[in-house]
Structure 1
């Protein structure tokens, strides 16, 4: 904890060294994009994108999960997205999944358990490829949930909002983006 306290104490000096104009950041809240990701501490949107203060409006959730829209039961995630789209007028929303995601791993193992399929003791890593594919599918599923929010659909229709599906590999530091034409995640 002391490391975090020490870094917070010298933030202003670090920001000045990186030419961050804190006064300008304080006056205008106009992020370049919204970045929705898992709350996993190993996934750091500003580090991945080299964003400066004010560049990204972040929403971090367990597994990067975007709950389905339901007008009768609004969620904090939904309100946060509405604020980004309607008030901040972000033009891009990135939904970013990552490798080694506990949520995806748990979902995969729960799926196997309910299907009666089990991992073989002979091969300790039979799910590696499937976990990556499942991670990609998970990101696209969240993007689909996002596109069903009433604040998002009209902005998509008039092309003032663009949705992006990314996948960050924690082991290599590589970030992939989904390309619809190729129907694949490819390096940025």
Structure 2
């Protein structure tokens, strides 16, 4: 705890004071262009990875970077997504998984969370990921299997994201793009899903999703 308190003093002295004008501006409101959805893992720091300043990322964090599909039950993820799109007008949403993910290890080995019923219930939102790994990645073992799970889960959660009404409306209106990323903890590399090549490539090499074309809406007869 003492380390955190010392860190606050260091922040106020070395970061806040030299950037007082930025923080005073942020006090009047925020205008992020990106919603960044990632894992709660303490080794992941979205602003550090992307070298962004306060106010540039709107962030959702939870175990396994999971987005439950749309339902009548409204959770924090759905409410935050709705606010990001409707109120903040974000243009891009990134779901970023990471290697060595404990949540994805539990997806591969569900017995690991037998004594954690709430965790097990939460990871049920990755059941499609588990089934994909069982059906298509039987040849992989150990960390390679977990890495494949991390990647497939990003794609599954992107599909869940598309079921959210505000996301569907943004895509249909041509105002929103979705991105799937994986951060490799051990090397600092970031891989992005290239929709044309259907694989994760180094983020500098991957083709970004094109801005969607607005859907033509017809008048009712």
TM-score bracket for this pair, using the shorter chain length: 0.7 to 0.9
What is the CA–CA distance in structure 2 between the aligned matches of 1:186 and 1:158, rounded to whole Å?
28
- Distance verdict in 2 for CA 1:20–1:134, change over 3 Å: farther
Matched, 1:168 2:183: yes
Counterpart in the other structure of 1:31: 32
Matched, 1:135 2:150: yes
What is the CA–CA distance in structure 2 between the aligned matches of 1:19 and 1:94, rounded to whole Å?
29
TM-score by length of 1: 0.87
How much does 1:174 deviate?
A: 0.5
Matched, 1:62 2:63: yes
Q: What SS does structure 2 have at the residue aligned with 1:165?
A: strand
Q: What SS does structure 1 have at the residue aligned with 2:146?
A: helix
How much does 1:150 deviate?
A: 0.4
What is the CA–CA distance in structure 2 between the aligned matches of 1:144 and 1:184, rounded to whole Å?
16
1:184 counterpart (191, 199, 216): 199
Kept after mapping to 1: 8 A contact 2:100/2:143: no
What is the CA–CA distance in structure 2 between the aligned matches of 1:171 and 1:140, rounded to whole Å?
22
What is the CA–CA distance in structure 1 between the aligned matches of 2:182 and 2:155, rounded to whole Å?
10
Counterpart in the other structure of 2:76: 76
Counterpart in the other structure of 1:48: 49
Aligned residues: 177
The worse-fitting range, judged by mean Cα deviation, of 127-136 and 59-68 is 127-136
The worse-fitting range, judged by mean Cα deviation, of 13-22 and 156-165 is 13-22
How much does 1:131 deviate?
A: 1.5
TM-score by length of 2: 0.75
What is the CA–CA distance in structure 1 between the aligned matches of 2:87 and 2:174, rounded to whole Å?
17
What is the CA–CA distance in structure 2 between the aligned matches of 1:139 and 1:6, rounded to whole Å?
36
CA-based RMSD: 2.0
Kept after mapping to 1: 8 A contact 2:94/2:178: yes
- 5+ unaligned residues in a row in structure 1: which ranges? 116-124
Matched, 1:97 2:60: no
What is the CA–CA distance in structure 1 between the aligned matches of 2:168 and 2:181, rounded to whole Å?
20
How much does 1:17 deviate?
A: 3.9
- 5+ unaligned residues in a row in structure 2: which ranges? 111-129, 135-139, 204-221
What is the CA–CA distance in structure 2 between the aligned matches of 1:108 and 1:179, rounded to whole Å?
25
Q: What SS does structure 1 have at the residue aligned with 2:196?
A: coil
Counterpart in the other structure of 2:117: none
